[in-house]
Structure 1
Amino acid sequence: MKFGKELKSQMVPEWSEAYMDYEFLKTLLKDISHFQERNRPAASSLGNTNPPGLTRKLTLYRAFSGLTQRAMSPRSPRSHDIESQPILVNSVKRSNGEEGFETRFLMVGDAGGEYELVFFKRLDDEFNKVVKFYKAKVGEVMKEADVLNKQMDALIAFRIKVDNPKHVVFESQVEMSRLAAAVEASSEATVLTASASTAMRASRKVAHMDVIDEDKSNSGVRSDDISSDDKDSEGSRKPRGLTVRPPPLEILERVTINKPIETPRSTIKGVLNVPVQTDLKFTKENLNKVEEQLKSAFTEFYHRLRLLKSFNFMNMLAFSKILKKYDKITSRNASKSYLKMVDNSYLGSSDEVTKLMERVEVAFVKHFSNSNRKKGLSTLRPTAKRQRHRVTASLGFFAGCTVSLIVALILIIRARKILDKSGRHQYMNTMFPLYSLFAFIVLHMVMYAGNIYFWRRYRVNYPFIFGFNQRTALGYREVLLLASGLAVLATSCVLANLDMEMDPKTGNYKAITELLPLGLLILVVVIVIIPFNVIYRSSRYFFLTCIFHCICAPLYKVVLSDFFLADQFTSQVQAFRSLEFYICYYSSGDYKRRENDCNKSDVFNTFNFIVAAIPFTWRLLQCLRRFFEEKDNWQGLNGLKYFATIVAVTTRTAYSRSHSNGWKAVAWIASIVAAVSSTYWDLVLDWGLLDRKSKNRWLRDKLIIPHKSVYFIAMVLNVLLRLAWLQTVLDFKVSFLHRQTLITIVASLEIIRRGIWNFFRLENEHLNNVGKYRAFKSVPLPFNYDENEDEDDE
């Protein structure tokens, strides 16, 4: 793999603009190379031809250079003194007051020197950009390390209060004085060198309980005092026991519990202005919660450090590669002096991140993994999810079975002339709505799998945006496997139902044949909610959590994964109605006679209005929650958009029931208002398009897909597919299609529209993260440390 592709694949997607622009620098080198080719003397090309009578190249007659590199003579013309260097790199003060590096190119007078001058100017800009970004990010993690210091102090004091280790007794007041001196000395060690602090620790002989044995270092993070020679049989490091400090229990006087994780109960208390309990309660349950929160905080913090280290390494490698290309093209030796500057710069010489990673590993292994290093590092360093061949093989098998079953179904219908039988209308009105539910689910899963494929192809960081676990996030193959598996079950049930219906031996047992779709639905529900670690349990749990948050929409803080799922439900209105039909059909006993009297029921018709409005109501409540919580007027407007959609859906349902002119006029007006507002919101706010001032006219400044026509096609499709509601208002009738079939087709078009919307919605979210360099999620910390008391103490 070429380095340019490797660099792109290894980039942190949200930091792509902060990396060195390797491809652009390559284009500058190509300009230099093209200039040299255009201005190469003709004699040079003739010199490559062999004189008459020689059959070998002239290079084969030159002196042998040897198999080992020979040391150059001091008088060699290749010796690199300051006068023969093509560049000089100096540290300068930039116009904005920041320090930077500037390269002075000394060979401007040479042919093509102006091209090389442009190259080094752009190289300096890229290097200063990378250093500035890296220094800023390192500063951020150092501040976060200080916060984690205080959190760990409070955790260990909290742990002591809960566990109450009564066997910890200090023998005398002299011992207490020595420990107090040790604490004071450790606070002064922040200005000492590492070797000096090690000597100080070795001079203290304390043989009591190991409470906190991380010494403060220059980086501001406590590091476990560990001997490289002291390791147990499992490879875990053992503390020396020489740096024991007394429990910092006084910290608990300045610490309160942060607001707990939001639940419906806490939300209701907040609305009723019930004071939140922030006092410390020293219980095992609270200790476990605190430890879990800090464990997540350390894991996320370590992930940041790993990304920073990768950013440093890839940029250092990029500068080395591009300068070697320059030397090769120009036959100069500029890389040595420039790379020396790179090594001496903050980017090449700072080791804060590496040291911080080591200290985080030591602290995590000790405090959260019970000194089991293997277990601790496996949590901190999650391995990439492996693509298993059995998933691909199973996917191929189920996909083949699905196609075969569909072909068999078509052949059976044609061979037995089922469409010509008198009971076909009854079958379409009863069985088709039951099985169409699974068709909607499978189609939505296929569209989602396609979204995942293209998100990965164009490097949209969807696991970070949704908050998926990197280890367990499903890929498009896994989603297609689930979809094809469900398709096989559904089509098998359809075939079994038809076969049992046509078989004289089982044709009279209608009650049994009609139970097949209900059995399949129950099986699917059981698979989704089963608590055992089978069939992607973590993904199922995440999905069920999001569903619960949608149902309790105003009682939970709205995050992207919740409102994204609620948006998916707004495109599954017909699926909700199918579930309503399941309840009516099987609870009323109609299935025993294969008769559908649900449409004659006032209760069913009333719930038909309610069920259609449920997913839009969830989104409306989510928008209202964000409007009151974030004071964002746009969320209020978004809520009005969903309210208009609720009105449009209910009026169209009313017209389909009564077919009166009054309801038709109201349905037309409401549907037009909802369609226009929703289309505008999709294209302008959700997709970020239709910006006439953009450098990509009518699109946006930054695009992930290189072909602009894709965006215009997507906009047109969004408008056309949104007009599927016209079928309800205009009451289209197609002679060769049953009414239930037409309803299913219209519902499927809306699912396809939602699948297209998904890609561009997440693309816009990703680009917003890129613009803000937002590559990490914020993890709530358990303790609130009172900084004012610290200032008063000082």
Structure 2
Amino acid sequence: MKFGKEFTSQMVPEWEGAYMNYSHLKTILKEVLIFRRWKQKQSPPSPFTPRKRNLLKKSTFYRAFSGLTNRHSNYSNNDDEDEAILVSEMQQQELPSAEGESYQTLFLRSSEEGAENELVFFRKLDNEFNKVIHFYRGKVEEVVVEAEDLNKQMDAFIALQIKINDPNFQSSSPSPSSNSGSLPLEEIQELEGRPERDQQKRVSLEILNHVKINVIPESALSTLKNIFDGTKSDLSFSTGELRNVQMKLKQAFVEFHRKLRLLKSYSFLNQLGFSKIMKKYDKITSRNASKAYLEMVENSYLSQSDEVAKLMERVEAAFIKHFANANRRQGMRDLRPRAKRDNHRVTFFVGCFFGCSIALIVAVILTVHARDLLQSEGRNQYMTNIFPLYSLFAYIVLHMLMYAANIYFWMRYRVNYAFIFGFKPSTELGYKEILLLSSGLSVLTLAAVISNLEMEMDERTKSFQALTELVPLSLVIVVLLITFCPFNIIYRTNRFFLIVCLWHCVCAPFHKVNFPDFFLADQLTSQVQLLRTLEFYVCYYGWGDFKKRENRCDQSDVYKTFNILIAVIPYWFRFLQCLRQWWERKEYGQAANGLKYLSTIVAVVTRTIYVQRPGLAIRIIAASSSVIATVFNTYWDMVKDWGLLCRNSNNPWLRDKLILPNKSVYFIAMVLNVILRLAWMQTVLDFHETPTLHRSTVIFIFAGLEIIRRGIWNFFRLENEHLNNVGKFRAFKSVPLPFSYEDGDKEL
């Protein structure tokens, strides 16, 4: 793999703009190379020139990396007759807007013919290096401040641990390092080999009188208590409290260590990039410029700063002692989780299941054709009662296939979906795992369809076989059992994550709304027909005569009422989530978003009432509310969720930054969004009468189109979220710390 591609693949996606622009520098060097080749053609060299040029290239090759291995007090060697550049450090008063040191390169061969491109190269090189230096310095200052916060958090944690485990312990005088008995990470490392009694003497329990607890598990009750109370809870000195504190601090240490690792990688990768580009410059120009420049790189803050390395050592020592029971192997495994490896068995079974699915689809088609089931008298009865039952699984499989496609393209275009969703490291499902689950479910569904593909009842009993008629219900039970299975099989971590997010949706607005919560609620708004099918399951098997494939669901007022409520539930979840976000952040945009979902609720209710009880007045209300909701939702999709339709952007009617190289894809997606949203309205309005297709088939087609629309929406929604993170260099999740000052405003 070429270095340029390897350099890009190892970047932190959210910091991409902070890395040196290796590709642009390489492009400038290509222009230098083109000019030099043209110059050689214009003036053929003498017989001795090629050998001299080769000798210069050979010498340059050995000197390109010397700046990273040898230390010199000066950035240039005046004794070298091949000297091409002079690198100097600019003083802060000369560059008032700069933070820390800045560097400028003077090109000493600017009078030569064609040196303009080389001047541009070094000007761009200086800009990139200064950008990297300033970004790295700022991030190091941030982690130093975070380390101080973790010091104080550890003080309170150790004091709380001693208070609970040894209630008779008498607090000693505060540590000399801090008025509150601070125990910095440096001292934690020093105390590793000391007896427990000596460690306790360094800790002051006085700090517990000045802190509040922030680790009460969030629930509906705790949220209501915070609303009316508005203050943080006092310490109760319980073991559960200690356990929650330990869990929060462990998460904070893991995330802090990850940040330090990425900073270390950032420093190394950029140093390597400058080394590579200078080597390429020396090779193209046959000059000796890399030595002086790389000496400057080595003596700069980017290379000489050791704060990150020291912090990593101290964090590892503290984590191993306090969160891994002094087991280094376990502690390092928690701090540095292994990268997820591609499992070839997953690929094999995906191929097997998809092959079986295709074979089963062919078998269904041949069976229908051989038995001439489309002309059977029981066709209408089958399509009314059995087909909707199996369509439930088709909706799930189609949604999973769209999600797998989303993951594939997110990975291809370096959208950090795992960070955005907050998945645990190395546990996120890739597109192959999603394809495995969806193909496995499709095999089960198609096998069930074949076993239940009978449209004529027994003439003697005037009923169907109970065993085969219960196949759809059995399949639903199997799927639910797998989903809620407590054992560590079939991606338990991911199943638990899904269940927790779903529970947060149900408990809205009493839970803090995170990105996965409202993203899942948005998915549910596109699965209204699936929810109605679940309602049909209850009615069909609970109150219908499934042996004779008969039901009276449409004749029940209770069923009709629940048919409205079921369709409203997903939009109600999102409405409550928007209210919670508006209440927490005081963002009026979230209030407008809540109005969008409220308008959709009104439209869904009025349309469904019109279908059940037609009338001119309700028809006008349903039509007007549907138009308002459709326009509102379409505008929000494109402008707010996708960030498109920006009139004054660099890309007209799009965004300033785009991930996809082909701009036409965005316009196609916007057009498809409008068309598919209007198509979905046909399902809600119940316009399903066609001369060739059954009503259940039309419902299934329109519901599938809405799932496809949601899949397209998912890609651009996450792309916009990723670009927002890139613009803010937001590459780490915020872990709430367990303690705060007693005023409740400032964390320790």
Compared with structure 1, are the counterparts of its residues 494 and 19 closer, same or farther at alpha carbon in structure 2 (3 Å cutoff)?
A: same
CA displacement at 1:41 relative to structure 2? 5.2
Match of 2:30 in 1: 30
CA displacement at 1:682 relative to structure 2? 0.3
The C-alpha deviation readout for 1:100-155, integer Å capped at 9, x for no partner, is 11111111111222211111111000000000000000000000000000111111
Compared with structure 1, are the counterparts of its residues 89 and 455 closer, same or farther at alpha carbon in structure 2 (3 Å cutoff)?
A: same
Moved more, 239-248 or 430-439: 239-248
Partner amino acid, structure 1, of 2:206? E
What 5-or-longer segments of structure 1 have no aligned partner? Answer: 50-56, 71-77, 171-175, 189-211, 227-236
**Does residue 761 of structure 1 match 2:721?**
no
Q: Does the CA contact (< 8 Å) of 1:154 and 1:252 recur in 2?
A: yes
Q: Does the CA contact (< 8 Å) of 2:214 and 2:738 recur in 1?
A: yes
Moved more, 302-311 or 592-601: 592-601
Partners of 1:723 and 1:480 in 2: CA distance: 29
Match of 1:198 in 2: none
Normalising by structure 1, report the TM-score.
0.86
Out of 248, 257, 265, the residue aligned to residue 302 of structure 1 is 257
Match of 2:67 in 1: none
Out of 695, 698, 704, the residue aligned to residue 742 of structure 1 is 698
Match of 2:73 in 1: none
The C-alpha deviation readout for 1:250-271, integer Å capped at 9, x for no partner, is 2222222126342111112233
Match of 2:138 in 1: 136
Match of 1:256 in 2: 212
Once the two structures are superposed, the pairs formed by residues 4-43 of structure 1 within 5 Å of their partners are: 4-40=4-40
Moved more, 81-90 or 415-424: 81-90
The C-alpha deviation readout for 1:341-392, integer Å capped at 9, x for no partner, is 1111100100110111011111100111110000000000011111101111
CA displacement at 1:318 relative to structure 2? 0.3
Secondary structure in 1 matching 2:106: strand
**Does residue 314 of structure 1 match 2:265?**
no
Q: Does the CA contact (< 8 Å) of 1:215 and 1:224 recur in 2?
A: no
Partners of 2:510 and 2:188 in 1: CA distance: 42
What 5-or-longer segments of structure 2 have no aligned partner? Answer: 64-75
Out of 84, 87, 90, the residue aligned to residue 85 of structure 2 is 87
Q: Does the CA contact (< 8 Å) of 2:212 and 2:744 recur in 1?
A: no
CA displacement at 1:559 relative to structure 2? 1.1
CA displacement at 1:732 relative to structure 2? 5.0
Partners of 1:333 and 1:249 in 2: CA distance: 63
Q: Does the CA contact (< 8 Å) of 1:259 and 1:276 recur in 2?
A: no
Partners of 2:523 and 2:89 in 1: CA distance: 55
Once the two structures are superposed, the pairs formed by residues 146-545 of structure 1 within 5 Å of their partners are: 146-164=148-166, 183-184=175-176, 221-225=186-190, 244=199, 245-258=201-214, 260-271=216-227, 273-274=228-229, 276=231, 278-498=233-453, 508-545=463-500
Secondary structure in 1 matching 2:645: coil
CA displacement at 1:421 relative to structure 2? 1.1
The C-alpha deviation readout for 1:434-461, integer Å capped at 9, x for no partner, is 1111110110000001000000000001
Compared with structure 1, are the counterparts of its residues 730 and 288 closer, same or farther at alpha carbon in structure 2 (3 Å cutoff)?
A: closer
Moved more, 543-552 or 504-513: 504-513
Moved more, 111-120 or 429-438: 111-120
Match of 1:778 in 2: 734
**Does residue 643 of structure 1 match 2:607?**
no
Match of 1:193 in 2: none
Q: Does the CA contact (< 8 Å) of 1:365 and 1:377 recur in 2?
A: yes
Q: Does the CA contact (< 8 Å) of 2:568 and 2:605 recur in 1?
A: yes
Compared with structure 1, are the counterparts of its residues 215 and 725 closer, same or farther at alpha carbon in structure 2 (3 Å cutoff)?
A: closer
Partners of 1:370 and 1:504 in 2: CA distance: 72
CA displacement at 1:157 relative to structure 2? 1.0
Partner amino acid, structure 2, of 1:224? Q
Match of 1:716 in 2: 671
Partners of 2:645 and 2:696 in 1: CA distance: 37
**Does residue 600 of structure 1 match 2:555?**
yes
CA displacement at 1:655 relative to structure 2? 2.5
List structure 1 segments (4+ residues) > 6 angstroms apart after TM superposition.
240-243, 500-507, 787-790
Partner amino acid, structure 2, of 1:102? Q
Secondary structure in 2 matching 1:548: helix
Partners of 2:303 and 2:452 in 1: CA distance: 70
CA displacement at 1:290 relative to structure 2? 0.8
CA displacement at 1:222 relative to structure 2? 4.1
Compared with structure 1, are the counterparts of its residues 164 and 483 closer, same or farther at alpha carbon in structure 2 (3 Å cutoff)?
A: same
Partner amino acid, structure 2, of 1:136? G
Match of 2:147 in 1: 145
Partners of 2:104 and 2:126 in 1: CA distance: 6
Task: Report the aligned-residue RMSD.
Answer: 2.9
Compared with structure 1, are the counterparts of its residues 618 and 81 closer, same or farther at alpha carbon in structure 2 (3 Å cutoff)?
A: same
Match of 1:234 in 2: none
Match of 1:208 in 2: none
Compared with structure 1, are the counterparts of its residues 388 and 730 closer, same or farther at alpha carbon in structure 2 (3 Å cutoff)?
A: closer
Secondary structure in 1 matching 2:229: coil
Q: Does the CA contact (< 8 Å) of 2:152 and 2:183 recur in 1?
A: no
Partners of 2:484 and 2:149 in 1: CA distance: 39
Tell me the percent identity: 55
Match of 1:112 in 2: 114
CA displacement at 1:500 relative to structure 2? 9.6
Compared with structure 1, are the counterparts of its residues 97 and 436 closer, same or farther at alpha carbon in structure 2 (3 Å cutoff)?
A: closer
Secondary structure in 2 matching 1:384: coil
Partners of 1:384 and 1:345 in 2: CA distance: 32
Match of 1:96 in 2: 97
Compared with structure 1, are the counterparts of its residues 329 and 621 closer, same or farther at alpha carbon in structure 2 (3 Å cutoff)?
A: same
Partner amino acid, structure 2, of 1:34? I
Compared with structure 1, are the counterparts of its residues 767 and 97 closer, same or farther at alpha carbon in structure 2 (3 Å cutoff)?
A: closer
CA displacement at 1:558 relative to structure 2? 1.0
Partners of 2:325 and 2:570 in 1: CA distance: 46
Normalising by structure 2, report the TM-score.
0.91
Compared with structure 1, are the counterparts of its residues 248 and 726 closer, same or farther at alpha carbon in structure 2 (3 Å cutoff)?
A: closer
Out of 610, 625, 643, the residue aligned to residue 655 of structure 1 is 610
Secondary structure in 1 matching 2:240: helix
CA displacement at 1:639 relative to structure 2? 1.1
Moved more, 321-330 or 83-92: 83-92
Match of 2:536 in 1: 581
Q: Does the CA contact (< 8 Å) of 2:183 and 2:203 recur in 1?
A: no
The number of aligned residues is: 722
Moved more, 274-283 or 127-136: 274-283
The C-alpha deviation readout for 1:56-105, integer Å capped at 9, x for no partner, is x999x99xx99xx99xxxxxxx9961664211111113241543111111
Compared with structure 1, are the counterparts of its residues 249 and 576 closer, same or farther at alpha carbon in structure 2 (3 Å cutoff)?
A: same
CA displacement at 1:598 relative to structure 2? 0.6
CA displacement at 1:695 relative to structure 2? 0.8
Compared with structure 1, are the counterparts of its residues 241 and 263 closer, same or farther at alpha carbon in structure 2 (3 Å cutoff)?
A: closer
Partners of 1:326 and 1:671 in 2: CA distance: 63
Secondary structure in 2 matching 1:554: coil
Match of 1:751 in 2: 707
Match of 2:505 in 1: 550
Partner amino acid, structure 2, of 1:762? L
CA displacement at 1:471 relative to structure 2? 1.6
Partners of 1:693 and 1:243 in 2: CA distance: 66
CA displacement at 1:665 relative to structure 2? 2.6
Report the structure number with the largest CA radius of gyration.
Answer: 1
Partner amino acid, structure 2, of 1:263? S
Compared with structure 1, are the counterparts of its residues 328 and 371 closer, same or farther at alpha carbon in structure 2 (3 Å cutoff)?
A: same
Partner amino acid, structure 1, of 2:521? A
Partner amino acid, structure 1, of 2:691? S
Q: Does the CA contact (< 8 Å) of 2:644 and 2:654 recur in 1?
A: yes
Partner amino acid, structure 1, of 2:86? L
Partners of 1:749 and 1:578 in 2: CA distance: 17
CA displacement at 1:420 relative to structure 2? 1.0
Partners of 2:721 and 2:399 in 1: CA distance: 21
Partners of 1:617 and 1:118 in 2: CA distance: 58
